[in-house]
Amino acid sequence: MKTIVVGYGAMGKIISSELKDDLFLNVALECENKNFDNVKEKADVIIDFSNPANLDMIIDYVKKTKTPVVFATTGYTDSELEKINELSKVAPVLRSANFSLGVIVLNRLVKEVTPLLEGYDIEIIEAHHNKKVDSPSGTAKMLLKSAMDSTGYEAKMGRNGYSPRRKNEIGVSAIRGGTIVGKHDVMYCGNDEVITLSHEAFSKKIFATGAIKAARWLVDKKPGFYDMEDVLFGENK
């Protein structure tokens, strides 16, 4: 599997190291002007763990080559997400807010548990390191969407001042500090009991493992939009 990795930050370095013999090219490290100009031979797949600023560069290359691409970058705007959706019409595209296999299972549990706990107050709390720039995390947004789809509730981002809790809302809180890799809790608060679904990452390597698993799964797929639930549960929604 010849793999192009876009990005050479913390995750790009881990991905490149884990791929070893499968690493075809790291764009940020090996290409002039951080683009695909030096790519002369077709790769099997692209893994993007960089920055939304690189999206147009990737889209232009994929449109020309039809190379499958795994988007592991977060912080996209709605218009950028629409570009990614459009790209899936010409090439296999897989995007996920989180590539931890445990988080994908957590999200599936949220989908299954939420309808069973009708009437419970739902709160989502996420914590990350002090250098994370987007808030709330993409994973928190993914969990929020799963809970909202099951309840029809509205999101309440943070609480400040006089802010009585409404019945049909899901609270989302973000914590930033130290070197926290990533922690997500989904709390179901009922009368006299609290049920918490929780996941905590202790190393960024788990995200690299998931992204590489996704890339291997994607290489022979037809054009379309896929996510990590397709990879783990064999679904294409």
Residue 221: give its domain's CATH number: 3.40.50.720
Give the helix, strand, coil percentages of the chain, each rounded to 5: 40, 25, 35
Active site residue 132: yes
Q: What is the mean pLDDT of residues 89-116?
A: 95
pLDDT value, residue 32 = 56
pLDDT value, residue 235 = 61
Q: Among the options 34, 83, 111, 132, which is catalytic?
A: 132
Question: Which of 201, 234, 228 lies closest to 14, judged by CA?
Answer: 201
**193 and 222 housed in the same domain:** no
Q: What is the mean pLDDT of residues 184-189?
A: 98
**Residues facing 58 on adjacent strands:** none
State how far the alpha carbon of 135 is from the alpha carbons of 32, 96, 125, 175, in Å: 32, 16, 11, 9
pLDDT at 99 over 90: yes
Q: Among the options 13, 128, 184, 199, which is catalytic?
A: 128
- Rounded to the nearest angstrom, the gap between the alpha carbon of residue 39 and the centroid of all alpha carbons in its chain is 27
pLDDT at 24 over 80: no
**89 and 114 housed in the same domain:** no
Domain that holds residue 220: 3-95+205-233
Rounded CA gap, 25 and 36, in Å? 9
Q: What residue type is assigned to position 78 of the chain?
A: D
Active site residue 199: no
pLDDT value, residue 18 = 87
**106 and 196 housed in the same domain:** yes
**115 and 186 housed in the same domain:** yes
Residue 83 contacts residue 90 (beta carbons within 8 Å): no
**123 and 108 housed in the same domain:** yes
**59 and 127 housed in the same domain:** no
Q: What is the mean pLDDT of residues 89-102?
A: 95
**Number of Cβ within a 10 Å radius of residue 93:** 25
- Rounded to the nearest angstrom, the gap between the alpha carbon of residue 180 and the centroid of all alpha carbons in its chain is 17
**51 and 123 housed in the same domain:** no
Confidence of residue 234 (pLDDT cuts 50, 70, 90): confident
**108 and 155 housed in the same domain:** yes
Q: What is the CATH classification number for the domain harbouring 141?
A: 3.30.360.10
**125 and 67 housed in the same domain:** no
Cα diameter, the chain = 64
State pTM to two decimals: 0.83
Domain count, the chain: 2
pLDDT value, residue 12 = 85
pLDDT at 21 over 90: no
**211 and 193 housed in the same domain:** no
Q: What is the mean pLDDT of residues 131-140?
A: 89
State how far the alpha carbon of 131 is from the alpha carbons of 33, 141, 161, in Å: 25, 19, 27
**221 and 195 housed in the same domain:** no
